[in-house]
Every structure is written in C-alpha cells, then in structure tokens.
Chain A
Amino acid sequence: MAVEQTIKDVEKEIVEEFGLFDSWDDKYEYIIDLGKKLPLLEDENKLDENKVRGCQSTVWLVADYKEGKVRYKADSDAVIVKGLISMLIRVLSGHTPDEIIHSKLDFINQIGMTSHLAQTRSNGLLSMVKQMKNYALAYKLSTSTNDKNYGYGSPEAKSN
C-alpha cells in the first residue's frame, strides 16, 4: 500500500512545481491548463446554494464524505479561478475533516498568489478556502456516522 501524502506534502509538491517557472506568464499558463483539465461539475450541482460568495466569477463547490475523508468537486465560469480551485482540491481532497480544518495552506503565499492577485480576487480565493473548511467542519460536527454529501442541495454546511 502506497504511503498517503499529507496536505503539507502536496503543498510542497506544488511549490516545487511553481519553482520551475521563470515568469508569471508561465505560471498563469499552468494555472489555466489546470483549470481546463478540472473535471466538469454536473449541471444539477450548479445550484445557487453551492455558489461561493466573494468572487467576481461564479464558483460552485460541493463536497462528499466517505470513510472519514472529504472529497471536493468544483467549477467556475472563469478558467484562472478554476485552476486555483483545482490546486486547492488537489491539496485538500481526500483528507480528514481535522486535517483540512487545521491546514495552513502556506503554499498560496509561497507560489505568490496572495501578492500577485489583487486583493479583491484573493478574497475570492480566501472565500473558497473558507467554504472548503466549512464543509469539513460540518462533517466533523455531524454526529451521525453515516456518510454524507454536502452541497448536493443541503445547505447545512454553510454555517458562515
């Protein structure tokens, strides 16, 4: 059985990948590529209640919870934002609620995203992180041991 990567491992991997790029043009091209490759979210999940507020573009985010791990799916009508979400999903998906809630996500700063994206846009990025952590928190607090899906029409994860 392969050793599972921690959130920090994946963050480190992304920071190393970004270290290979000489220019912001290359970084954006990479992010755009990630955005284009992110699996599409089914239309039935593109609901108002699954929208992440605080972004100039529309972002939908859903999560499910199986065997103690949270998995995310997301989509956006803007491709750079989609690329950013794709990285967040790569880092956070498949981890326990506790790991997600306590993740620092320093990689966002280390790859220059907070300083390079204007305040209004990085607020959108922060809204996404907040929403992902909210889902994790909702799973953690849920007393039921049953697997649950949030964002599939269930607003209870949106306690913020």
Chain B
Amino acid sequence: MPEPSTLTKPSRPSIHREDIFRRLVDSVTDYAIFLLDVNGNIVSWNPGAERLKGYKTDEIIGKHFSIFYTAQDLASDKPTRELKIAAEVGRFEEEGWRLRKDGSSFWAGVVVSRIHDEQGRLIGFGTITRDLTERRHADLRYRLLIESVTDYAIFSMDPRGYITSWNHGAQRIKGYRAEEIIGQNFSRFYTEEDRAAALPQYVLRTAEQTGHFTGEGWRVRKDGSKFWASVVVTPLRDEGGELFGFSKVTRDMTDRKLLLDELQRHSKELELRVQERDQSNAELEAFAYSVSHDLRAPLRAITGFAEALKEECEGQFSNEGREFLAEITGAAERLNGLIQDLLEYGRVGRISMPLASVNLLDAIHEAKRDLGGLPPGLLTIAVPKELRVRAYPQVLKQVISNLLSNAIKFRRENSSPEVSVVAETQGDTVRLNVRDNGIGIAPEHQARIWNVFERLHDREAYAGTGIGLAIVKRAMARMGGTCGVASKPGEGSTFWIELPQANEK
C-alpha cells in the first residue's frame, strides 16, 4: 500500500513543498480531501473529511471508501464503477447521496481524480467531497416554489426561445405538460399574425437589449383557444454577463380584459347616447328658435294692423267694436310675451355661460331696476355688500328679476305686498331667499310650478306666461346651482336659489 509520501518525487528537494501542501490540506475544514489507493482504500484523511463524515483519522485509514455509499449505490456496484471511470478518463464528478458515520445522509458534490506516477502507472485517487445539502435544499425549494405556482405560468428558455423548464401554472394556463413542451420554441404560444409579424423574436430581442420586456396580448393555448396574457420576459445572464436564456412569467388576464373591453364598450355607448341626446337637444333648441321666429311674423302683422285699424278707423267702430279691437291687441301682446319668454328659455339652455365672480347685491339692484319703479317699502334687501357668488351675470340678474316679479305679482287681495331678499352663507354656499307675503302655494303644486307653461291661476287673476320659473330652474342648473321653494297657502312663499360663494374677483 503506497504511503502518501510516495506520491511525490522523492529525488527532488521538494520536501518543504510537500510539507506545505499537507498543512494546506489539513487546514481545510469545508472540504473532505482524502486519498485512495488503486483499490479504493483510504490512505489519508483531513479535518474537513472528519467534520463532514464523522470518522476520525485512525478509525478510517485503511477502510474502503465504499463505506460512504448508500445500500442502493452499493447494490449497483457504484463505487467500483466510479473508480473505473476515474482511472480511464482521469476524473469522475457527480452529485449524490453519501453516508456519514452515524448513518445519516448528505448531498455530496464529489470529484475523484486519477493519480499516476511518472511512468503513467496508476498509483491512487484523490477525492474531494463537499456537503451540498443546503444548496440542494435551496435549489429544490426554489424549484418547488416556482413549480407549485399555479396562477402564473413561469418557464425558462434558452437564448433562442426553446423552452427549458415549465411550471404547473404554465401547464394550467397554456395546457401543455412539461414533457411535451420542453424543447419546443415559445413562439408556438403566439397567434399566427403575431408570428408572421416576428413578435416572438422582437420580445426576446427587447428583453435582451433593455433588460426586460413587458406586454399584453392574445396568446394561444394548446387546444387553440386564446387568452389575454400579461407577460414579463427577463434575460438570464451568468456571472460573466453571458446570456444563457430567458425567464418568462405569463398571467392569464382574460377575465380582466373582457371586463375592461365591456367597460369600454359601455362607455362608448354612453358617449354615443350623450352625443345623440346633445344632438336632439340641439335640434329641439333649433326647432323652438325657428318656431318662435316664424310665430313672430304673423304676430307683428296682427299687432300692426290692429293698431293701424285703431288709428285710422276707430271713429267708425261701435263701443263693442272697440272692445273687440282691444281684445285682439291684448292677445297679441300676450303672445308676444310668450314668445319672448320661450326664446329666453331656449337661450338660457343654449348659450355658453362662463361663470365669474359676481357681486350679489349689485345683481339684485340691477334686477330691481329692470322691474321699473316699485312702491317704497315694498322691497327690503338684507345682503352683505361684499358677498360674491360664482354665476353668469346677465342670467343671474334674469333669475332674480323673475323671482322678484313673481313675489310681487302673487299678492293677496286687500293686502299690500311685502317682499324681502335675504342672503345666508352656509359653508361655501350662498343661499338667496326671496320671501313674500302673498297667496302661497299648496304643497301638491310646489313641484310643478317649475315646468314650462305651468300656471296655477287663470289669466284674469294673475297674468303671466308660465315660463318664468322654468327659466329660473334651467338657469340655476346651467350655473351649477340649485333652487327651491317653501310655502304655505295664505302665508306667502319663500323662493330660494343657491350658488357657490366666490372669492374676491
């Protein structure tokens, strides 16, 4: 049995080198390094070997190295085979289970090297063993982790896109089992059009050049059905930066995609309907506009000729004839008022209303001026001088004017009208109350008074077109405000409007 010292050349003054080498080996504790003779018997042992395998030097020297192998490996005569390979090709390398002295096993990385003398004769083997159990567990954990993921298809490819690994998620989402897809090119997941457009190549090129590729698109399952995929492709590089493949993570987003598509369809439909409504609104406005104008031409004729008749022929009329003429003139005036209000109602719905900061008190005074001379004491105003609201000035004036003229008009018999205009600020909102002591409105009528042509009284009692409050309501909506009424029959009404308060100009 050759002693370890015989492994070196005794004639050369290399005893020191040999000594240094031995010390090096003896100092290694992470690797089991030991020598075998040609038959596989252990002839040297280092501290690493002792730590790894549990045997002390004196109890292992001379033992056959097959002592480290599992029963299964022994049954297949593996130790002999390994030495044979090492003797023939110079080196044997593997990872596999080995046994410790206490019978426990560990995952070993083993290298067995042939050692020969100067004449080339085999004189033994050097063995280096590492405990790779931890690394194996880590790899295994990682692999199992990825394999067990079912919500995501995770697979790897070589640099040309040929599949090298496949997880459960990939099987679930794409329908292929690992054994039937590994080795195939990933381009088969793409639609024919995408393949024709060289999308698969583009994906890999982009990932390689930019560090990743993300995208969404339709992909094809094994059964030919399609799914909406959200994809991330990452290049895999070794320590030297050399590309050795790609990883690809794919999620099936079909449900979300369909939901989004449906949402989009709905919003498009909604848009279309809004357009249609806008269009029909515009048509309605145009209709009202042209009707109002075409109605005016004969009205001018009625008024004009009635006046001409009165001027030129009044003397020839009886009293009754003069009354009839007055009826014609009065009716024509009412029709004129109606058309004007209708036009105004249309205008309020049509014109653009750029909102500005408006002094509320100024607007009230202007509205009051429009109503002509009011008897003193009829109107009291309690509005802070500096209070400003966001509104369109002319339309706000019109709204207030309509409310004031209503408040004055619907007076109780035998009672002098009193109208108060009071502003309240509630947070960012300004409410303007127009309160009268008039006839009031029964609760069941309070909703309908805002409609066009809605009148509660006959013309002889209270004149009017029935459009004034409709204009108020429309104008307030257009200006982003609100309006309403609180009233008791016989006690009067309080009409109110609300607008956002405006900051200083």
Interaction A to B: no
Q: Which A residues are within 8 Å of any B CB, using their own CB?
A: none
